[in-house]
Amino acid sequence: MDQATATATVLAGIERTRPWQEALYRDLHANPELSHQEERTAAQVAEKLTELGYAVHTGIGGTGVVGLLRNGDGPTVLLRADIDALPVQEQTGLDYASTVEATDPEGNRVPVMHACGHDVHITCLLGAAALLAADRTAWQGTVVVLFQPAEEVGDGAKGMVEDGLADLVGTVDVALGQHVLAFPAGQVATRPGPTLSASDSMRITVYGRGSHGSMPQFGVDPVVLAAMIVVRLQTVVSREVAPTDPAVLTVGSIQGGSKSNVIGDRAVLQLNLRSYQPETREALIAAVRRIVVAECQASGSPREPDIGVFGSFPVTENDPAATGRVRDAFDAEFGEASVDLALQSASEDFSDIPAALGAPYSYWGIGGVDPAAYAQAQAAGTLARDVPSNHSPFFAPVVQPTLDTGTRALVTAALAWLADG
């Protein structure tokens, strides 16, 4: 069976999966779980995969779930979805909006929301798993469906790898993944090469010498020191990185002092770096270290600063050949709705999985915004204001055609290998 016929045959069952997919999506959205706490979500995934006839493995890397469906000789295709949510207070007004609260790793009670669309990813992958299981005459090989925890904190993929993922799935010919984004629903968008940025967060503690606010001459003010660091850091991207090499440096947090008339003894800065090239990543981190140390010396800081890197994500660099194969399949299935994906400054840990498995990979975007609303905002020049992006408390992908598109995309991409020839 040729690829186009196989795709049409498998996708013919989507009307049967659509009702339970939509119900499941609303349930997942209303019941989000923080990173490393995805117990309920993982149980639902495992139950559905078992029902579909997959060999199910749970508890991989904590709450990760892997399903395997072997269907004769042929390639092994890995399809991945992330399953965790964010500490965000939902403000969408949906009748299935989350009111969930949970305890975060620091012991704080926080609201929880699927503000990044991982509920879409779970639902689409389960739908694709169901369609591939329902018609095994159209393809040959092995399907691996992987539901990964803790993407938002950047260690979920590594956790699954370290927990023996390679031994479980064996040789993988290609790894495929997708993300719902703030562009028109119904579209699928691909990009070869660097696609999502690498990300590194840094926590910096600078030290001063405490004093009364009325007697600054006896102290070393860490707040002033932190302020000088922030100002100087603005020159890193603008003066040390080539304009043709995208990079971002954001200081997201400064904490220092306790009272208006007290000079404290330390200040803590947290910042985030985004880059696409390894040498740029190294240069950014080195520049931050250089500037922080130099400013501490210039201010007469009584001790060396503490500088740490945490929350690192790898660059997502799509394999050109694999992505070309996916794009050809998408062009055939979606026509003009198969579009180019712009370079994304967000980050993902998906690539840690194919890197560990030695497999090429492709990662694409699907739209989640009502097409009419998007077109109206675009015409008015108000996209930034009127179209909420991922991580916004207002982020709410339209149920359809988002779910159908994501499901079709996963099936279509998988069959580019499983039904090849």
Going across the sheet that includes 55-60, the strands are 55-60, 64-71, 141-148, 76-82, 174-184, 361-369, 188-190, 338-340
Question: 47 to each of 24, 34, 42, 44, 57, how far by Cα in Å?
Answer: 12, 20, 9, 5, 11
Binding site for Mn(2+): which residues?
116, 118, 152, 179
DSSP code for 285: H
Binding site: which residues?
116, 118, 152, 179
Beta carbons within 8 Å of 82's beta carbon, 6+ residues apart: 118, 121, 147, 148, 149, 151, 152, 156, 350
Inter-axis angle of helices 222-240 and 278-298, to 10 degrees? 150
Which long-range contacts (C-beta less than 8 Å, at least 24 apart) are formed by 91-94? 91/393, 91/394, 92/393, 92/394, 92/395, 92/396, 94/29, 94/396
The span from the first CA to the last CA of the chain, in angstroms, equals 7
Distance from C-alpha of 78 to C-alpha of 143, rounded to nearest angstrom: 6
Strand segments (E) across 5-137: 55-60, 64-71, 76-82, 101-103, 109-111
Helix (H, G, I), strand (E, B) or coil at 278: helix
Query: Looking at the DSSP assignment, which residues form a beta bridge with residue 338?
Result: 188
